[in-house]
Structure 1
Amino acid sequence: MGCRFWLWLLVSLSHVCGTSRGTGERVLGTLGMATTLRVPPEFQNLTRRFGEATWKRHTEDPKHKLVLLRYTEGNYTNYKMGRTRFHEVDFSLEILNTSRQDRQLYEYSVNKGPAEEVLQIWLDVFEPVSDPRIQHLSWSMANGSCTITLNCTAERGDNISYSWVNQDLSTPGLCSSSGSILHLSYPLQNTSISCSCRATNPVSYQVVTFNSSGCSYKQDDSSRLTRNQLILVVLPVVLVMIFIMVICWRRHTACKKQEHPPVAQATGVHTIYSQVQRVERRRSHPTEHPPCTTIYAAATGQPLDKAPGPSRAPSPSSSSPEQPQEPTTVYACVMMPVA
């Protein structure tokens, strides 16, 4: 292992470095959206010159690579149809619907015969930031100033960072903060305080604004009920109140009917036949029954079948209390005084 060995090792390394040269860059992909892996002009010229190129993707196994596309003299074979799209104009590869599994190292290699030019692209995938929301954590009033603690959060997104900035130039530095928590303190005479929270990640950002007009929980505009939420809250309450009012009205009507029962129907009209004897002189035959005069009288009141007296005529068949009773005929004989 003298000088000859070290000379051979140096020549081998120089050969390897001369036959393959790699350059790398980083591409940011958005989850659920298309991501394009672009080829720089240098590699575009090499591809047109030599006419052979290949797109590959690394896997979890460092010894294994997945071939995505092969290009040869104007023709190409896409091994991931439906997942990728090849652009012949600039030889770029478009991933149609980026997923977290696409986060990997990609290679674009140009075959130059005994040598090879390799372009390495690292694809990083991020979920975009959703709309942030401002929440009150605490508030207090003391010594003529208002102190509020706010928290800005977004429900979805990868690697989110938060920052607070002033929207009102008249109060510089009042809302400056580099995190999601903001401790805000201002005099009560300040009637207009405006602070903005910015939620950011490598592929997107969202902004929400806090507007203050006093010192209370009502300052948080983002926590107010929307019109649809207000309808969903108020409508069931109104329906319940109407239902209760209908039940109370029915009970009140039923109580009135019990206190004032309907007037009973008028009793039937009963006809009484009376015989009254006329005044005449005493005849020679006292044993004879003096003649009588019949008087028709109409009477109302208690049914005749309940009235006392031996001269009551038999009443017809009884009827139900609800039905009016039929007229009843009563025959009474009244003797007139004899002169």
Structure 2
Amino acid sequence: MGSGAWLRLLLALGALWGIGAREKVLGTLGKATLLRIPRQLQEHTLDFGEASWKRSTEEPQRKKFLLKFSGGNYTEFEPGRMRFHTLDFSLEILNTSREDGQLYEYSVSKGSVEEVWQIQLEVFEPVADPSIRILHQELSNGSCSLTLLCTSERGDEVSYSWDSRDNGTWGICSGNGSFLNLSYSLRSASFGCVCTARNPVSSRDVAFNSSQCGSEQPGDPGLRTELCVLLVGLGAVIAIVFVAIVIFRATHLAKRDQNPSWPVPDHSQVTPASTSPTIYAQVQRVQKPKGTVPIAASSSCTTIYAVATGPPPAPDGAPRSPAGSPTPRGHSPLSQEPTTVYASVTLPVA
């Protein structure tokens, strides 16, 4: 029985059981994915002219129409995301996303019978270029021992394997997994180990040379990245300390300006000059006797008005400190008030 007969049998059984033959297709994230149908279904589509593409939904009992084909014409329900090829009736997903990973169904109607072909689409993110890091190294007695780690930053279901670049290393680089332990003599010829990162839709590799023992792997940004992070963090700490010092000094100066050691005098408590006491002084003129000039029965006095400045009298009548005493600390000299002084001066009479 040929392959065509087996396919017809599967389709017939699928139509009888309400299910169709199924295949699995792998799609790459961000790239186009083409869903094809077998040659026999293409011929049946040409014969009967009634077909459709559908996709399963989150509800098992419901399906979504993507395209309907009838009599040589077709209708697309997602033209911006899907493209229908009339040559082989295949359906192309233009930009495959993770949400496109569904069960697709192509059905051909021929009278009362429907033939179904199902495609399970699985979407994978491709692997990125891997890198190799030296996790451990030891130099002893002219030999080198290394522990290597191979990683890829992106990719779904990534697997790693190691192999030799040439056939002269006797399988020293063979291994599976991300880690590889090496031990070899530095006097031996240089050789290379290749790490391959792969998944169902992509594969990338990177090489490590044995002469790099004790040095940083070129293209491995691990150590340089750690150093850059350390320098950036140190610079940020220095900048924060500098800003804190500037703010502290500015705050300290502002407080010192607002609270000086000598307070500003309160002019509202200074006694106005109009209330200053008046000094009264009496000057008596004394006349000398000349001949028969009679002596004045009473001496005339002249009153002199003067003002002197001194400490104001205490409210309770207590004596104040002398005017010459120093001003108490913390009090302004403007708080002193004028005081009345009485003096008598006797002048000779001519």
Please give the TM-score of this superposition, normalised by the length of structure 1: 0.60
Q: Which residue of 1 aligns with 2:65?
A: 67
Offset at 1:191? Answer: 4.0
- The answer as to whether partners of 1:56 and 1:68 remain within 8 angstroms in 2 is yes
Instruction: Point out where structure 2 has 5 or more consecutive residues left out of the alignment.
Output: 1-11, 225-230, 232-350
Find the residue that maps to 2:107 and give its secondary structure.
strand
Asked if the contact 2:105/2:117 (under 8 Å) is kept, the reply is yes
**1:204 Cα deviation after fit:** 0.5
The equivalences for 1:93-172 within 5 A come to 93-172=91-170
* Deviations 1:144-202, CA, capped at 9 Å, x for gaps: 42110010101011110000000132112100111011111111212412000000011
1:39 deviates by 1.2
Secondary structure, counterpart of 2:216 in structure 1: helix
Query: How many angstroms apart in 2 are the aligned matches of 1:155 and 1:62?
Result: 36
3-state SS of paired residue (1:69) = strand
User: How do 1:205-284 residues align onto structure 2 when only pairs under 5 Å count?
Assistant: 205-213=203-211, 215-218=213-216, 220=218, 222-223=220-221
Question: Bigger CA drift: 174-183 or 18-27?
Answer: 18-27
2:81 to 77, 80, 83: 83
What percent of counterpart residues are identical? 55
* Distance in 2, Cα, partners of 1:167 & 1:185: 17
Give the conservation status (yes or no) of the 8 Å contact 1:196–1:209.
Answer: yes
Per the normalisation by structure 2, the TM-score is 0.58
Alpha-carbon separation, structure 2, partners of 1:30 and 1:81: 20
Q: Aligned residue for 1:181?
A: 179
**What displacement does 1:223 show?**
4.8
Deviation at 1:87, TM superposition (A): 0.3
CA distance in 2, matches of 1:78, 1:172: 58
Distance 1:20 1:62, change over 3 A: closer
Structure-2 residue corresponding to 1:269: none
- Distance in 2 separating the partners of 1:100 and 1:220: 34
1:282-322 deviation line (CA, Å, top 9, x unaligned): xxxxxxxxxxxxxxxxxxxxxxxxxxxxxxxxxxxxxxxxx
Task: Report the secondary structure of 1:168's partner residue.
Answer: coil
Matched letter for residue 70 of structure 1: K
Q: Is the CA contact (8 Å cut-off) linking 2:130 and 2:197 kept in structure 1?
A: yes
**Unaligned 5+ runs, structure 1:** 1-13, 227-232, 234-339
Q: Could you tell me which residue of structure 2 aligns to residue 49 of structure 1?
A: 47
Going from structure 1 to structure 2, the CA distance change for 1:205 and 1:45 (only over 3 Å counts) comes to: same
Looking at structure 2, the residues matched to 164 and 204 of structure 1 have their Cα atoms a distance apart, in angstroms, of 17
Question: What number of residue pairs does the alignment pair up?
Answer: 215
The 3 A distance-change label for structure 1 pair 15 and 152 is closer
> Cα RMSD over matched residues?
2.4
